[in-house]
Amino acid sequence: MSLPPDKLPPGLSAREYRRLGIKYLLMGKNDHATEAFTLGYEEAGNQDGEKSADQEAKQGYQQGMRFGANLTNAVMKLLQQQTAGGDDGAEKDSQQYLNDIREQLGQLGVPEEKVSKFIEELVEVVTVAGSEEPPPRVVPTDLTPREFYELGVHYKELGWTEQARDALTYAMEGDPDGDWGVKAKRFLQARLPRFPVPLMAEQRNISGYNLMMSGDTAGAKDVFEGLISEYPDFEWPYGNLGFLYLGDGSMAKARKILEKALSLNPNYLNGWLHLARVLALNEDFRGAFDCLQKAADILPDNADAEKLGEFIKELETG
């Protein structure tokens, strides 16, 4: 299967744009995917002379996806602005995303006063969330299994993987055969490194991920390669580097490094999801679905795996 071009070509059919959009999604090129899907819906409308209810529904879904992307980016930039203590660049970026949200809501017919109220409340909620006290560095020992599980998830969100490991272990010990013990075990296996890693390595991996999300792929690669050299048993930098290779079309490199990550930790959920993307783009659909099945076995009812499976199935049959 040929990889999609860096620039969207004109004059394709609705089906061809749709397939391109799916390929871009598998590569992690979400902006390209949005453009391809939008062109596909427009082309479908042009071919039929008028938009069908199904096409309008799809365009509505696409609008929602773009709105969601703007909302996510706005929240991230607002939090970054708080952390940076009023950094002009972060403030400018957050304002741009908020302006885009304002424009989109206006296009949907939302009254101006309600739009302004939504923006004000969004900024207030993010400000409050960003100023909340973090959980204690030392994991408490007097919580219920449910509280330990929720605390472990919170630690993971902060990048404190070893505190997360301790909290989840307490949940497993307190409810070994119950719902919270089982959930804690699955989350620990799927979402945490197999072996303990120093906090410095965790934070460097987060900084590399932030560089990757901001578009600085060269800087992100340097971070992940350095981590792999210094902490060869830490699977997350392998997975992130594999995702970067996937994005620039280096399929052989992506597959090799993802397989290395999974040899270090066969329960590495994101490793299986990324490898499924690689195999699907190489038209190894059976292998891709095998990866998704492994991901489902590790963490059942995972929305990311389910949605990825839908796209890969469409690519296979389309």
What domains are defined for the chain? 14-131 (no CATH), 145-191 (no CATH), 201-317 (1.25.40.10)
Query: pTM (2 decimals)?
Result: 0.76
**How confident is residue 44, by pLDDT bands cut at 50, 70 and 90?**
low
**How confident is residue 61, by pLDDT bands cut at 50, 70 and 90?**
very low
In the chain, pLDDT over 90 holds for what percent of residues?
A: 57
**Where is pLDDT greater, at 159 or 26?**
26
Judge whether 38 and 64 are in contact, CB under 8 Å.
no
pLDDT of residue 57: 47
The yes-or-no verdict on residue 69 having pLDDT over 70 is no
pLDDT of residue 42: 74
pLDDT of residue 2: 81
pLDDT of residue 78: 61
For 224-255, how does the pLDDT look when each residue is reduced to its tens digit (9 = 90+)? 999 999 999 999 999 999 999 999 999 999 99
* CA distance from start to end of the chain: 13
For 151-178, how does the pLDDT look when each residue is reduced to its tens digit (9 = 90+)? 999 999 888 999 999 999 999 999 999 9
- Give residue 299's identity as a one-letter amino acid code: L
The yes-or-no verdict on residue 123 having pLDDT over 90 is no
